[in-house]
Homo-oligomer: A and B are copies of this chain.
């Protein structure tokens, strides 16, 4: 097995190196890896659910912008959503191994839970024994790109300043249902700005249409509108330091695949909550002229 130093010294793209580091279980996150390559979230489903999932994404393109998917059963190829973007083309690519780790959601019978079903989450470093000929993987845009754009525009990214994970909240905004996927609500990430910075923040992030784009709500009234009543009570990630004059700004996140409200038989997801270097920023940039 190669060492991290050996992989780092290879004459490969930063994204390819990041995938190798994942494959050999040498990293637990791809945060900060893969240079200016776009990173993506991963959702793997039984193909029985892929039509409903595509519809879910079409109806909710901001939380769930599909960048590409695998052919059913083939973990080694990514088909891009748009023909004018480049995707992973390494001959050694394998979605079953090239992500830091995978959360596998199972539904089990348990009468002590509402509906008699309980979700258990198993974490694995690869999907080699889990993937079947019926699985399909979807790659979903993530907010990596716009965080870099904020920094490059001279705007703070509070969780980076304070070395915390971004604060995330489950809102009351319903995801528009599609078939078996229903009953869930939007998740938002939150960053703090001064009120007079908000228009610039909106302008900088608006073009990132494949990475959640501009905020959904801002300010204390905006927080109430989406059901966030206490910034200190995060649902995911870390609470942030709120400095005097700061107001919260909320972006839509990729929804978590499992919610207590989603039908139990929809829980065939296998998901990594980390990200995988996928394609060049430059090719995504061509998607920005929306």
Contact = CB atoms under 8 A, between A and B. Distances in A.
Interface stretch (A27-35, A141-149, A176-184): A176-184
A224 B89 CA distance: 48
A121 interface: no
A206 B62 contact: no
Interface of A: 54-55, 58-59, 61-62, 172-174, 176-179, 185, 202, 206, 209, 213-217, 225-226, 252, 290
Number of copies of this chain in the oligomer?
A: 2
A87 to B, nearest CB: 22
A105 B80 CA distance: 42
Given A178-B206, A206-B179, A290 B58 contact: yes
B216 A290 contact: no
B174 A225 contact: yes
- In the complex, which of the residues A177, A209, A290 has the most CB atoms of chain B within 10 Å of its own CB atom? A177
Contacts of A216: 174, 176-177
Nearest to A227: B172
A290 B51 CA distance: 8
B174 A55 contact: no
30 contacts: A54-B290, A55-B206, A55-B209, A55-B213, A55-B290, A58-B61, A58-B209, A58-B290, A59-B61, A59-B213, A61-B61, A62-B176, A172-B225, A173-B173, A173-B174, A174-B216, A174-B217, A176-B213, A176-B216, A176-B252, A177-B202, A177-B214, A177-B216, A178-B206, A178-B213, A178-B214, A179-B202, A179-B206, A179-B214, A185-B225
A226 B174 contact: yes
Nearest to A252: B176
